[in-house]
Amino acid sequence: MGIGRLRILPEDKVYDTIRKQRQQRSPGRSPGAPGINALVLGGGGREYAIAWRLARCDSVATIDVMPGNAGMAIFTRLIDIPPTDTQAVQQHIAASHIDLAIVGPDELIEAGLGDTLRRASIAVVGPSRAAGRIEWSKSFAKELMDEAGVPTAPWRAFPDGASAAVALADGPVVVKADGLAAGKGVVVARDREAARVALATGSIGSGPVVLEDVLEGEEASLQTLVDGETVVALPPARDHKRVGEGDTGPNTGGMGAYSPTELLPDEQAQDLANELVAPVAQALVRRGIPYRGVIYAGLIRTRDGWKVLEYNARFGDPEAQVTLPRLGGDFARLMVALGEGRLAEHARDHPLRFGQRAYVSVALCSEGYPGKTEGGQPIDGLEDLPDGVWAFHAATRRAGARFLTAGGRVIHVVAGGDSVAEARRLANLGAERIRWKGRFYRSDIAAQEVAVA
Q: Which residues bind ligand GLY (CB under 6 A)?
A: 183, 239, 254, 312, 316-317, 319
Among 118, 413, 449, smallest CA distance to 260 is for 449
Q: How far is the CB of 318 from ligand GLY (least distance, A)?
A: 6
* CB of 260 or CB of 316, closer to ligand GLY: 316
Measured distance CA(382)–CA(114) in Å, rounded: 35
Query: How far apart are alpha carbons 225 and 228 in whole angstroms?
Result: 10
Nearer to ligand GLY, 69 or 323 (CB): 323
Complex with ligand GLY: residue 306 or 436, whichever CB lies closer: 306
Nearer to ligand GLY, 120 or 365 (CB): 365
In the complex, minimum distance from the CB of residue 224 to ligand GLY, in angstroms, rounded to a whole number: 14
Kindly state the smallest distance separating residue 386's Cβ from ligand GLY, in Å: 25
Toward ligand GLY, which CB reaches closer, 131 or 404? 131
Tell me the closest approach of the beta carbon of residue 183 to ligand GLY, in angstroms.
Answer: 5
Query: How many CB atoms neighbour CB 181 within 10 A?
Result: 17
Distances from the Cα of 291 to the Cα of 153, 229, 349, 379, 394, angstroms: 23, 8, 22, 40, 27
Closest CA to 79 of 394, 89, 36, 55: 89
Q: Would you tell me the crossing angle of helices 138-148 and 129-136 to the nearest 10 degrees?
A: 100
Contacts 24+ apart (CB under 8 A), 341-344: 341/12, 341/15, 341/227, 341/228, 341/292, 342/31, 342/227, 343/225, 343/227, 343/230, 343/232, 344/227, 344/230
Find residue 359's DSSP bridge partners.
Answer: 259, 416
257/285 with CB nearer ligand GLY: 257
Maximum CA pair distance of the chain?
66
**Which CB sits closer to ligand GLY, 98 or 277?**
277
CB atoms within 10 A of CB 208: 19
**Minimum distance, C-beta of residue 11 to ligand GLY, in the bound complex (Å):** 26
Smallest Cα–Cα separation from 300: which of 356, 358, 241?
241
- Nearest to 278, CA basis, from 260, 291, 259, 265: 291
Q: How far is the CB of 138 from ligand GLY (least distance, A)?
A: 13
- Comparing CB distances to ligand GLY, the nearer of 46 and 129 is 46
122 CA to centre of own chain:
21
Measured from the CB atom, the residue of 174 and 379 that comes closer to ligand GLY is 174
Q: What is the CA radius of gyration of the chain?
A: 21
User: Measured from the CB atom, is 48 or 158 closer to ligand GLY?
Assistant: 48
DSSP per-residue codes, 208-275 = -EEEEPPPPSEEEEEEEEEETTEEEEPPPBEEEEEEETTTEEEEEEEEEEEE--SSS-GGGHHHHHHH
260 preceded by cis ω (within 30°)?
yes
The Cα–Cα gap between 29 and 27 comes to: 6
Q: Which is nearer to ligand GLY, 219 or 380 (CB)?
A: 219
Shortest CB 104 distance to ligand GLY, Å: 11
Smallest distance, Å, CB 319 to ligand GLY? 5
Contact, 433 vs 443, CB < 8 A?
no
Expressed in angstroms, the distance from the first to the final Cα of the chain is 58
Peptide bond just before 10 cis, omega within 30 deg: no
